[in-house]
Structure 1
């Protein structure tokens, strides 16, 4: 057990709370015992009979009562490393020089002003995003509600050597010795920071949780009223799956007790992949937008002595992703949405695709910055077309945000496009218009689309 003790000591030396160490220890024992985290197809049934957001209709008093008891929490730990960023992804400008962060603040402010409620907004930051985020939020001196903080801190844990399960040592870059514990750390971080009890003491009952890079997950009073009306301890927002969604997590029903559980891609055995990808059977994917009753979470954490019984996700990768010769390591993770299995009576609601607009790549960013999306008076992004075009940019030249910004001058019009595929070293001037299905092929040398050009495809 020396390897575990070394990992625990490393976390204590870093100042992490004992509750976070206890959670890590519980997952370590799962890992040590050979747990794979797999959820076999034979042990689950598909999710059916899901309520729909389309049927929600409440009067203003009902909306106001629910909003007055709700807190909005945004997960803001990501650095946007897949786009070559070294700061919080939420600081990226999206529309009219407004960043994710600006739009989120404006969305919450709109609900406050419309209903006359104190709707708190909190961010779960990581060690790497906290300073930049709080500096950006300083522009909004009236954002904080009462004595509530604007953020709380996500924990971190040691990465483990795949061969020995000892904590990784990497003197060349000590930051690579650490990893985030997955979004399920939300529950631990809320509790260990004291924020959970602070919210309850301030009179709040419900929490709406979503990723900061998903601008579709607006604070919707109708959703707040729906969740309050259900009396459920926990709820997940789901969307209809398409072929593009088969790699995402989806909700299923556990045969042994009828509870809803989340099955991530990493938890599907190779022999079950075909069945799991069948859209006629497993019809809904998890948007990573969820809701929970703060009192119910308090009760479950007390019952579990601070360590919720969540399934392990064993994430194996290289210590240094840029060095293929570096050792294999394991990141112990768990999904935030997996907590749905903990709460008896948890439920789900089918939402419109508009509530799922994550920005994971510069392909997504190009769409949101184009004229396909407008910002409404409620600061919600809405598509101007029924069928949003697909964008596929050559990652060699557009994958990093710096290269993307250098090569693409906005506005770019995609509202008449069906798809845009760019292969090779291209750049775009201002006011380029794309119509139909356009493919720009790699010509082996830099090419430029002049300002005002109309690109017409099939």
Structure 2
């Protein structure tokens, strides 16, 4: 017998047309939440993990080519980029030469199809907020959609729950804010509920490569596909060594109780374990969110579990309107897709180069991507040409929102190829052809301009 809060949430989801399997998955996590589950992973319950390196693996060319023939590419594309002031799909943001993330992704896939003679379908997991804009933007690529397969399937949505009472939140001023996505762990529920999982199997595909649409390093590389195919693993994640910029992010570890690989996110880390989370020597690897899974293994596991994969709960507490702290606190029930690694026997990790992990979460990341740190090749893959990726810290008061950021770099990003770090405190607008050398820090009061062609080095007021 369900609680009143769960009954109300179920009714609200059914009225909104949410798939029944998504409702049952939500109910599973609601019950965990109701019984006090927090999803926390104590440091005492895990130990560090090591893994093989892609650079050391031998993948014959014929194995790589055969694997990419059976691979489907899925991009997570539900984000709006609201943290950067956007109100549409973040993947529509311009990256370079008038090309958006979506443009570059589409051209990467089309190029690989030509190189390998592969069907290599591209599917997008959109949200109800990104679907229309995304499909409109991709309409220019007439050959992108593979006959018999959709170009998208939709992420599910669920009601935000009031922290007090765990009943669905109501917000007549903006009813959309009553809903939230269930985290990217919803991909498995959405694939099954939409019928896409069965459709891909019926059409002869075997492997799925999943990555975020804001990570242009996540090319569906045939060599990685070949490694995954010859490993025989049901599920795998590409990992990278953590750097200073990853201190606050999640990491891989091994659970002492059963030896399973786990992915511990920041939201699953106790306050007293934050120092261990940030210890780059202890926990050396973070997730790229580049995932590979075997379609047959995924279907069999979902069938065994009545469609509920059983990923660890992430209990995310926010305000009902994230921009208004006077609105009530709500709980958003979330899961992380990478956490599925603990579900599958024989799941694997592999260390890849940082060139496969170029996420854009802030305008700091966007500045690097728009600079000359990377080159975009004829195949639209990104190549890092700088010896190191510089650390960027822009004043959030002037650069956090994309509109403000663009106004301050009207002539494009400065050269960062020879930069180690670049910190700005204050309001600076940059002319054309500015170069940043070594460690640079700008600080000053009032609006200031960096002249065209200026070479910056050291601390400057």
Q: Are residue 193 (structure 1) and residue 183 (structure 2) matched? A: no
Provide the C-alpha distance between the structure 2 equivalents of 1:450 and 1:100, rounded to a whole number of angstroms.
30
1:419 is aligned, of 382, 404, 421, to 421
Partners of 1:3 and 1:167 within 8 A in 2: yes
| Aligned residue-pair number | 456
| Aligned residue runs from structure 1 range 433-452, under 5 A | 433-443=435-445, 445-452=446-453
Partner of 2:270: 269
**1:201 CA drift (Å):** 0.4
Partners of 1:57 and 1:222 within 8 A in 2: no
What secondary structure is seen at the aligned counterpart in 1 of 2:344? coil
Structure 2: gaps spanning 5 or more residues: none
What secondary structure is seen at the aligned counterpart in 2 of 1:425? strand
Provide the C-alpha distance between the structure 2 equivalents of 1:411 and 1:3, rounded to a whole number of angstroms.
50
Deviations 1:240-283 (A, max 9, x none): 12233122111111222221111111111122233333333222
Provide the C-alpha distance between the structure 2 equivalents of 1:321 and 1:349, rounded to a whole number of angstroms.
36
Most deviating of 161-170 and 263-272: 263-272
Partners of 2:237 and 2:291 within 8 A in 1: yes
Partners of 2:260 and 2:342 within 8 A in 1: yes
Most deviating of 356-365 and 411-420: 411-420
Provide the C-alpha distance between the structure 2 equivalents of 1:38 and 1:76, rounded to a whole number of angstroms.
27
What secondary structure is seen at the aligned counterpart in 1 of 2:115? helix
**1:328 CA drift (Å):** 0.7
Partner of 2:216: 215
Partners of 2:64 and 2:227 within 8 A in 1: no
| Aligned residue runs from structure 1 range 30-429, under 5 A | 30-48=32-50, 50-408=51-409, 409-429=411-431
Partners of 2:318 and 2:330 within 8 A in 1: yes
Deviations 1:362-400 (A, max 9, x none): 111111111111112221112211112122111111111
Provide the C-alpha distance between the structure 2 equivalents of 1:293 and 1:405, rounded to a whole number of angstroms.
42
Provide the C-alpha distance between the structure 2 equivalents of 1:380 and 1:253, rounded to a whole number of angstroms.
33
Provide the C-alpha distance between the structure 2 equivalents of 1:272 and 1:405, rounded to a whole number of angstroms.
38
Change (3 A) 1:422 1:221: same
Provide the C-alpha distance between the structure 2 equivalents of 1:434 and 1:286, rounded to a whole number of angstroms.
30
**1:45 CA drift (Å):** 2.2
Structure 1: gaps spanning 5 or more residues: none
What secondary structure is seen at the aligned counterpart in 2 of 1:210? strand
Deviations 1:415-440 (A, max 9, x none): 12222211112111222222222222
Most deviating of 98-107 and 376-385: 376-385
Partners of 2:316 and 2:333 within 8 A in 1: yes
**1:56 CA drift (Å):** 3.3
What secondary structure is seen at the aligned counterpart in 1 of 2:287? strand
Provide the C-alpha distance between the structure 1 equivalents of 2:248 and 2:86, rounded to a whole number of angstroms.
24
Provide the C-alpha distance between the structure 1 equivalents of 2:244 and 2:395, rounded to a whole number of angstroms.
21
Change (3 A) 1:326 1:199: same
**1:411 CA drift (Å):** 4.8
Provide the C-alpha distance between the structure 1 equivalents of 2:416 and 2:185, rounded to a whole number of angstroms.
37
Partners of 2:387 and 2:417 within 8 A in 1: no
**1:37 CA drift (Å):** 0.5
**1:60 CA drift (Å):** 3.0
Provide the C-alpha distance between the structure 2 equivalents of 1:184 and 1:17, rounded to a whole number of angstroms.
16
RMSD: 1.3
What secondary structure is seen at the aligned counterpart in 1 of 2:418? strand
Partners of 2:398 and 2:427 within 8 A in 1: yes
Q: Are residue 4 (structure 1) and residue 11 (structure 2) matched? A: no
Provide the C-alpha distance between the structure 1 equivalents of 2:56 and 2:379, rounded to a whole number of angstroms.
21
**1:453 CA drift (Å):** 2.2
Most deviating of 243-252 and 122-131: 243-252
What secondary structure is seen at the aligned counterpart in 2 of 1:456? strand
Deviations 1:329-377 (A, max 9, x none): 1000011111111111111001111111000111111111111111122
What secondary structure is seen at the aligned counterpart in 2 of 1:135? helix
Q: TM-score, normalised by structure 2?
A: 0.96
1:29 is aligned, of 31, 34, 39, to 31
Q: TM-score, normalised by structure 1?
A: 0.97
Deviations 1:155-191 (A, max 9, x none): 0100000011010001111111111100100000000
Provide the C-alpha distance between the structure 2 equivalents of 1:185 and 1:382, rounded to a whole number of angstroms.
31
Provide the C-alpha distance between the structure 2 equivalents of 1:59 and 1:38, rounded to a whole number of angstroms.
42
Provide the C-alpha distance between the structure 1 equivalents of 2:420 and 2:279, rounded to a whole number of angstroms.
26
